[in-house]
Structure 1
Amino acid sequence: MTKPNLPTNRYRILRTNFTDTYPLVIDTETKAEDIQSAAHQRIRAATDLLETFSCLTLEHADLKDISHITNALYLLVQDGCDLLEAAQHVQLQPEQPQI
């Protein structure tokens, strides 16, 4: 895949994008708290799904269902990690002087 023509200092690409157009990006000019909130939402959803999945018995599960759950968990956790990395990057940036 080729990199999109986005300003690298503002937008971070989510690793879960599967196309060359990268429709999902993180705007690093957003407040770190908002980026962390989005990360928390995804990681919480993955945790809830894992908790539900751990209560199920695999003897009645279809292999395609396990694949679907695994894919959903991957997307949620990877996006959460990308968001946390972006939030850390935003927090480490020096304050821009007010003009």
Structure 2
Amino acid sequence: MDLMLNVARIAAGVNILLLLVLVAVWGQNYRKIRSKHTFGSAVFALFLLAENGLALFYYLNPPPMSVPAVRAMMYLQVLEVAGIAFLVYVTVD
């Protein structure tokens, strides 16, 4: 279970870093072009940032959790890394 928590912690940390990049780029784009789409994207990234911050807090201070719950959350965090990494790729490229 420690390995799964460590993977989830790392994934949440990577998500936070990637989301900070997206918020910076989308925020800058919104200031330039004032598009609702870029504003919505930046707000969405901020909500995901808050979610990942809270997840990381719980991964660093874990309450008693069952192994299946930890495994499921780890898989979700890893999938989220893939999705956010793709967003960074298409946004920054």
Whichever structure has more helix as a proportion of its residues is: 2
Larger Rg, first or second structure (1 or 2): 1
The TM-score, its normalising length taken from structure 1, stands at 0.47
Whichever structure has more strand as a proportion of its residues is: 1
